[in-house]
Structure 1
Amino acid sequence: MIGGGIVGKACALALRRAGETVLALDPQSPSRPASYGNAGHIALEQVEPLASPAALASAFRRLFPLGGALDFRLADIAAWGPWAARFVRASTPEGAAHGKRALGSLLQDALPAWRRLAASLGRPDLLVEHGHVVVWERPDTARAGLETWRAADIGQARLRVLSDSLADRLRQSVRAPIAGGVQFENTGQVRDPALVLNLLDEAFTALGGQRRTGRAVRLRTVEGRVQVLLEDGEWLAPERVLVAGGVGSGVLLRDLGHAAPVIAERGYHLEGGADHWGDLPPVVFEDRSLILTRFGDRLRAASFVEFGRESSPPDPRKWARLRRHLAELGVRMEGPIAEWMGARPTLPDYLPAIAASRRADNLYYAFGHQHLGLTLAAVTGELVAALMGGATPAVDLTPFDLDRFARGRDLRKRNAA
């Protein structure tokens, strides 16, 4: 298993529990993965993919220079330019409908899969099912936001208008006006993303799973089977290979002829002491594209959708914007305050890639989960274990095959099918 994020770790553990001998190859990059730095939110409500006519139409007003969370690194245009062209082609009504059906099939069992995983780790408390809150600071955005959410497909999540009691609790922690809000139920959060990663590693090791620090730099086929080249020059010839390496998966799979147009969709967070933040579920300040989540005695403020290369340096303006948001909200973090940036692996249609490769007899992949890596990690692990074990997965994985991006395929016609 190639990868060090939560999807790869969940897959490695599920495979080991299925009786497979598993070597987890973890690159241990200096920057912690998106799995570590996310908002900890189990987002069952995000059924509608971000590749849609609505998302495309709203892109301009969400740009970073205009105060929004969306940004494109000009220096990295060679990386995101072709991806953006594919995104535009995928953002049709037919493409959005196809994506909603596909994501819905994965999200249907996402929360039960997390319950099963947390229980199997001996930590049912790892999953906190108190829902989350979305609020607006202006009456006009509150009216529009409530109308939008009521019309949206939110799958198995439920929503209702923000209760007076919860609104009062929130106003004790922020000084900005709360003009309106909604409460989501049947969503949740993990107690701490870093703790989840550590527990998955510990369970994997306790079951005899093998771990090795190293980076896969190339794949090749020999007599129809994949071999893996490590950065130290060693070739590995495993019985089967699972590529679950986030953004880096694209380069590896392109070696074998796959079209794998994954981009680094980078997010940022600040994290500090939470003494002045109430015991609240995750709170989304939708006017600011900002989410605040409490993890024990720490408070995390996360935001931004920045397209670029994974290796490009972080943009300090993003952390400055987060600090400004916190100041305007009247939210105080106690020091030390940590800064983080990490890259979500995102494909142009905002669907993950989960399948057995047709380019080699022993190659599988699971990556590209965009904002839903944490949400879908547990169910992806179960599906991959079934797939690689020769069983029929509980979800039809056809929509997640990378061949949807193969040259000559008409994405719009395929999505309409």
Structure 2
Amino acid sequence: MNVIGIVGGGVVGLCVGLELQGAGHDVVIVDNDVAGQAASWGNAGHIAVEQVEPLASLETIRSLPTRLFVRGGPLAFPPFAAAQWLPFGLRLLMASRPARFRAGAAALAPLMERALPAWQSLVERVGAPELLRQDGHFVLWHGEKAARSGRKAWEAANTGAATVHGAGEADLAQLAALCRDPIAGAIRFSGTAQIADLDELRTALRRAFVQGGGRIMEGTGEVRIIGGRAAIPGVDADRVIVCAGVRSRGLMERLGHKVPMIAERGYHVRADAQNWPGDLPPVVFEERGMIVTRYRTAVQAASFVELSHPDAAPDPRKWERLERHVRELGMPISGPFRRWMGCRPTLPDYLPAIGRSTKAANLLYAFGHQHLGLTLAPITGSLVASMVAGEQPALPLAPFDIERFA
């Protein structure tokens, strides 16, 4: 039996571990997130299969001036972090060229098509099917102009297996009750989903992994190459897989790979569920760049794309603006708020890195899933398990090879 060491115990690392375990391997996960504060467990809980088109696009570039934090938008470029976001931004510009964008969408589409079926299989396998809610999600607008242009853009977009349609009368009445101001328009997506509770998901995945014989060790999971083979100090592993999210950059670059990844930091505030409807799917307030998700016992408002260093101190203004959005909209949410900030691991073409290292034959990697880590974790696990087995993966992995940045 092969022993496989995985660096990183977020949702991607756990899904990779469970898939390998199911294939008969002895798996050890090395993780230093004891409290479960990584982006895997603080995101919007949205299984975003509609996001087939990469964010590296000319449309994104054109929208930057209107989306800046200083102008009330969700996008922040902290001046002190210019050394991080300036080279990333230049690579993003290159990746946004039409041919690169089309290639990225073609690469993402089959991943996204398989994402929800992979989740359906996973929650059954770990004995927690109730954690996957398949009720779609809403996008709404309060301004007439924003509603017209927003709906037109979504109806023209490639949303893969997800479909867009106008919100019905009952939906509109329920949404209107959440806000003080009248709603100018809303659409509902079908074919998307959410996780009912991220803390419960983490518990269920870890429990299934340990019950299956897996081991979770606390540690940073340093990776070295010794005699041409990758090794994790303290772990006797035949193969090593890097799934360490934003920390993967340092691990891989010390081994000789070029990984132009940035910490794309997001913020959320949470409060007790109070009067937010328990059956309401996630709601995107597009004009404010905010998504509100009802979990089992809490309601969460999340936003912001802050390109910075992963270890920089959080910016309290982001939390304050989220709380102000809640107040200004007149939502049935009140404090005290619990505040969180986490780092999405983002590569400049907004495609993940999934593949086999050229530095050591026994080293594989799966990281850089940007906003889609939760969405793509189970299908990523399946693809990595195929590579470990020496089989042809179900999807072409060449577009996700980290050597594309060499």
Say whether 1:63 aligns with 2:68. Answer: yes
Partner SS for 1:109: helix
Partner SS for 2:232: strand
Q: Tell me how far 1:8 sits from its aligned partner.
A: 0.7
Q: Tell me how far 1:285 sits from its aligned partner.
A: 0.5
Matches within 5 A, 1:396-407: 396-406=396-406
Contact 1:271-1:333 within 8 A present in 2 as well: no
Say whether 1:119 aligns with 2:148. Answer: no
Hey, what does 2:298 align to over in structure 1?
298
Say whether 1:352 aligns with 2:352. Answer: yes
Which segments of 5 or more consecutive residues in structure 1 lack a partner in the other structure? Answer: 230-234, 407-417
* One-letter amino acid of the structure 1 residue matched with residue 241 of structure 2: L
**Quick one: which of 53, 58, 64 aligns to 1:53?**
58
The 1-side partners of 2:57 and 2:283 are apart by 25
Matches within 5 A, 1:269-348: 269-278=268-277, 279-348=279-348
Which segments of 5 or more consecutive residues in structure 2 lack a partner in the other structure? Answer: 1-5
Say whether 1:221 aligns with 2:225. Answer: yes
* One-letter amino acid of the structure 2 residue matched with residue 213 of structure 1: E
The 2-side partners of 1:295 and 1:178 are apart by 24
Matches within 5 A, 1:193-272: 193-217=198-222, 219-229=223-233, 236-272=235-271
* Count, aligned residues: 400
Contact 1:70-1:305 within 8 A present in 2 as well: yes
The 2-side partners of 1:114 and 1:402 are apart by 25
Normalised by the length of structure 1, the TM-score is 0.94
Hey, what does 1:395 align to over in structure 2?
395
The 2-side partners of 1:398 and 1:308 are apart by 28
Hey, what does 1:131 align to over in structure 2?
136
**Quick one: which of 89, 92, 102 aligns to 1:87?**
92
Per-residue CA shift, 1:217-261, capped at 9, x if unaligned? 4x33222201234xxxxx545210000000110111111211111
* One-letter amino acid of the structure 2 residue matched with residue 103 of structure 1: L
Contact 2:75-2:305 within 8 A present in 1 as well: yes
Per-residue CA shift, 1:81-101, capped at 9, x if unaligned? 211111111110011101101
**Quick one: which of 191, 197, 201 aligns to 1:192?**
197
The 2-side partners of 1:31 and 1:127 are apart by 20
Per-residue CA shift, 1:319-339, capped at 9, x if unaligned? 000011001111132444210
Hey, what does 2:19 align to over in structure 1?
14
Say whether 1:150 aligns with 2:155. Answer: yes
The 2-side partners of 1:375 and 1:240 are apart by 26
Hey, what does 1:101 align to over in structure 2?
106
Q: Tell me how far 1:66 sits from its aligned partner.
A: 0.3
Cα 1:45–1:91 shift into 2, 3 Å: same
Per-residue CA shift, 1:160-200, capped at 9, x if unaligned? 01111100011112212210011000101011111111111
The 1-side partners of 2:247 and 2:158 are apart by 32
Contact 1:293-1:301 within 8 A present in 2 as well: yes
The 1-side partners of 2:139 and 2:82 are apart by 33
Partner SS for 1:149: helix
Q: Tell me how far 1:31 sits from its aligned partner.
A: 7.1
Q: Percent of counterpart pairs with the same letter?
A: 47
Q: Quick check: 272-281 or 64-73, which moved more?
A: 272-281
Partner SS for 2:307: strand
Hey, what does 1:179 align to over in structure 2?
184
Per-residue CA shift, 1:86-131, capped at 9, x if unaligned? 1111110011101101111110100000000011111211110000
Partner SS for 1:394: coil
Q: Tell me how far 1:60 sits from its aligned partner.
A: 1.3
Q: Tell me how far 1:68 sits from its aligned partner.
A: 0.4
Hey, what does 2:33 align to over in structure 1?
28
The 2-side partners of 1:274 and 1:172 are apart by 15
* One-letter amino acid of the structure 2 residue matched with residue 139 of structure 1: E
